[in-house]
Structure 1
Amino acid sequence: MTFAIIGNGAIAGYVIGALGRRGHSVAAKIVRTAPAPEGPVAPVRVTSVADLPESVRHVIDCAGHPGLVAHGERVLRAGLDLTTLSLGALADPALADALSRAAEAGQSRLFPACGAIGALDALTAARIGRLDRVTYVGRKPPAGWAGSAAESVLDLAAMGPAPVTHFRGTARAAAVAFPKNANVAAAVALAGLGFDATQVELIADPSAARNIHEIEAEGEFGRFAFRIEGDALPDNPRSSALAAMSAVATAERALSRVVI
């Protein structure tokens, strides 16, 4: 299978390397500006879906919400399958509907990657019965919230030792307010009760050495609690290693004859 990547950051770099090591070809990257080629370059850099090589059959979005907004609909309408890490962008009903219609028109499929969280298979199964409550708690060191709406609530550089909750609300509100930080909340919402019924709590915690994600769910199936402490990619402390790995795993699952 030949892939293309949307994005040029640390996650995109990891995904390209991992796909290559696993025997796949990455023919192109969709980037904002494509420099003039200086000899053979692989993958080739392009600025639009229309310029992708004909060999590409699956595109992986590693560029955040703007990348999905700019290119997602064109990818799907062109008949190419799309894996995305930008799940928070799907909190916008207009975008979600446009992507669905584009996939129908192109006879293609959109695969949301689980990102930095796990246990979504259990949550998806639980919603087949009565699912009463789903809560997601995201806990990061103060520096992990730099550049986000948390700065309007907290002085992140001058926090004491105690953790502080800076957001409580729905997954939809979290995705809108924290577009660079709420993809995990969106993944939990899509797997379970949806954006408006999933409750989210975001915490700045000076004692946290890693980004910590927790899900609690209760319903007809019983109750479960899941917690994961994630490391970042070496090339970018803001990028989750598991999120990058999940993009590769999701794209490979889309190709598999036996899907787990």
Structure 2
Amino acid sequence: MEKTATIGLIGHGAIGMEILSALGRIGEEARLAAILVRPGRTAPRAVHDAAGLIAAQPDIVIECAGHQAVRDHVPDLLRAGIDCILSSIGVLADADFAAELTDAQAQGGGRMLLPAGAIAGLDGLVAASLAGIDQVRYTSYKPPHAWRGTPAEQAIDLDDPAEEQIFFEGTAREAASAYPKNANVSVAVGLAGIGIDATQVRLVSSRRVDDPLGVIEAEGTFGRFRFDILALASPSNPKTSALTGYSLLQCARLGGAWPVTELAWGKAISQLRNWP
């Protein structure tokens, strides 16, 4: 990406504010084209709908506001020819909406981009998928308090003194549907590897960790690998890694994100129209 490329943001929560702060620290505030926030909310260079963000003419937009924000704004941005880095990648577990985004890309030329987020190792998974992967599992460990306010509260007793409680096991698609605010990484792992319906996911409440720990395990003809990523939680949101915002920003500044529909070997998007 050109050094002078401008960046738009969707969202001014924990991740959005971290990105804005990082731009200030590196002296690149001028990159910011606009921040899309809900009506009534304030932010630097605030706009309140996709039309306002499009009018600001960003070269690339970072979404960091949740699944509904993707649904509300990203199709219009793609149709306007603007590339969008998706933090809330789990929204692609909805096959119908993923197909709508694919149509929007075709109409306008903007691309859905998959960032590494807070998960190192996705590049190795993308490479291994070409050689041949038989199985992939992603396990997310978080301390009990980080699961409060999620469906985990109905699945287990978060005050139980047990060191670890596994409360979900299933596919990445199922994880993203059941835990839309907590399973975005599992969908990213699925897209990078063997697809979101073949990727297995475990969600664990663990008193052995103080911050989010993600573990990617894969086996195949390429061999075997395991990546452990202990990323410190954001001070303002224990459900989010502090590294996420920096990864999103570096993808916008330096490139390195993957066009979702070009991860053809995962077949996660190209086959969505045939999903029952």
Preserved contact between residue 27 and residue 43 of structure 1 (Cα < 8 Å): no
Shift of 1:14: 0.9
Tell me the residue number matched to 1:71.
73
State the distance in 2 between where 1:114 and 1:214 align. Answer: 14
SS class of match (2:131): coil
In structure 2, which of residues 78, 89, 92 is the aligned counterpart of residue 90 of structure 1?
92
- Corresponding position: 1:9 with 2:13: yes
Overall identity of the aligned pairs, in %:
42
In structure 2, which of residues 16, 31, 34 is the aligned counterpart of residue 25 of structure 1?
31
User: Kindly tell me: are residues 13 and 188 of structure 1, through their superposed partners in 2, closer, same or farther at Cα, counting changes over 3 Å?
Assistant: same
In structure 2, which of residues 128, 142, 153 is the aligned counterpart of residue 140 of structure 1?
142
Tell me the residue number matched to 2:105.
103
Tell me the residue number matched to 1:43.
44
Tell me the residue number matched to 2:151.
149
Kindly report the root-mean-square deviation, in angstroms, between the aligned alpha carbons of the 2 structures.
1.8
How many equivalent pairs are there? 250
Preserved contact between residue 115 and residue 256 of structure 2 (Cα < 8 Å): no
Unaligned 5+ segments in structure 2 are 258-276
- Bigger mean CA offset, 234-243 vs 114-123: 234-243
Tell me the residue number matched to 2:160.
159
SS class of match (1:69): helix
Unaligned 5+ segments in structure 1 are none
Deviations 1:190-240 (A, max 9, x none): 100111100011110122111110011001110001101110223333321
Shift of 1:59: 1.0
State the distance in 1 between where 2:195 and 2:141 align. Answer: 21
Shift of 1:15: 1.1
State the distance in 1 between where 2:91 and 2:221 align. Answer: 30
Tell me the residue number matched to 1:220.
221
Shift of 1:254: 3.2
State the distance in 2 between where 1:148 and 1:237 align. Answer: 12
- Corresponding position: 1:175 with 2:181: no
Corresponding letter in the other structure for 1:211 = P
SS class of match (2:130): coil
Shift of 1:58: 1.3
SS class of match (2:175): helix
Tell me the residue number matched to 1:131.
133
State the distance in 1 between where 2:10 and 2:254 align. Answer: 19
Shift of 1:159: 1.1
Shift of 1:162: 2.2
State the distance in 2 between where 1:254 and 1:78 align. Answer: 20
State the distance in 1 between where 2:256 and 2:219 align. Answer: 33
State the distance in 2 between where 1:161 and 1:28 align. Answer: 46
Question: What TM-score, normalized to structure 2?
Answer: 0.86
Question: What TM-score, normalized to structure 1?
Answer: 0.91
Corresponding letter in the other structure for 1:67 = A
SS class of match (2:255): helix
Preserved contact between residue 34 and residue 56 of structure 2 (Cα < 8 Å): no
Shift of 1:255: 8.8
User: Kindly tell me: are residues 47 and 54 of structure 1, through their superposed partners in 2, closer, same or farther at Cα, counting changes over 3 Å?
Assistant: closer
